[in-house]
Amino acid sequence: MIRVLLADDEGMIRSALAALLRLEDDIDVVAECADGTQAVAEAIRLEPDVCLLDLEMPGLDGVEVAARLSRSITARCVVVTRHARPGVLRRALASGVAGFLPKSRGADEVAEVIRRVAAGARYVDPEVAADALADERCPLTARELDVLRVGRRGETTGQIARTLSLAPGTVRNHVSAVLSKLGVETRQQAVLHAEEHGWI
């Protein structure tokens, strides 16, 4: 029996998918979680075989949950998302995610992906994979990405500088370079752009 933890902040979707997966002879949904923080706690407590994680959740998103779990337990993680952006796929794979698929797939397909991942294979939706190969490459340096990552929740220039051990003027220079490269006007727009492309 494949023990599955399911995490999705949309209650109706979570309940419906759990009910459909429980109809499978070889799958047991052992936990249903409404956010990423709860998913981490329950996964560590229950140690399921597979964690099926929604990408867009409050607190910790599905990729962040997978990254944390990879350091704690052996459960294999599958991320599902309504908006399968290629950059997010790259971020997911870098975090050790074993499966990635859009929410448009049916419960029978999800069940099959769970089986494949539980057996040790990896699965990436073919359409998402094709898009990822064609997607634009990140024009930002590693340090510019650090500045966006540390400041993604609206931290001040001073806070970012202290976290990264940089001078505030250096942070401002990095932000200016980022805005120029991405063609946006604000740091928050740059953060959104980078998140959408899976760069941070």
Per-residue model confidence (pLDDT) at position 92: 86
Could you report the per-residue pLDDT of 162-190, keeping only the tens digit for each? 999 999 999 999 999 999 999 999 999 99
Q: Which fold has domain 142-196?
A: Arc Repressor Mutant, subunit A (1.10.10)
Per-residue model confidence (pLDDT) at position 17: 95
Over 80: is that where the pLDDT of 135 sits? Answer: no
Per-residue model confidence (pLDDT) at position 134: 61
Residue spans in the chain of domains classed CATH 1.10.10.10: 142-196
Q: Could you give the 3-state DSSP secondary structure of residue 51? A: strand
Other C-beta atoms within 10 Å of 104: how many?
Answer: 12
Q: Which fold has domain 2-133?
A: Rossmann fold (3.40.50)
> What's the predicted TM-score (pTM) here?
0.70
Alpha helices (runs of H) in the chain, residue ranges in sequence order: 11-21, 36-46, 62-70, 86-94, 107-118, 126-134, 142-150, 157-164, 168-182, 187-196
**Which is nearest to 99 in space by CA: 86, 88, 87, 113?**
113
- Answer for the pair 51, 43: CB distance below 8 angstroms, yes or no: yes
Please give the span between the terminal C-alpha atoms of the chain, in angstroms, as a whole number.
36
Beta bridge partners of 33: 7
Residue spans in the chain of domains classed CATH 3.40.50.2300: 2-133
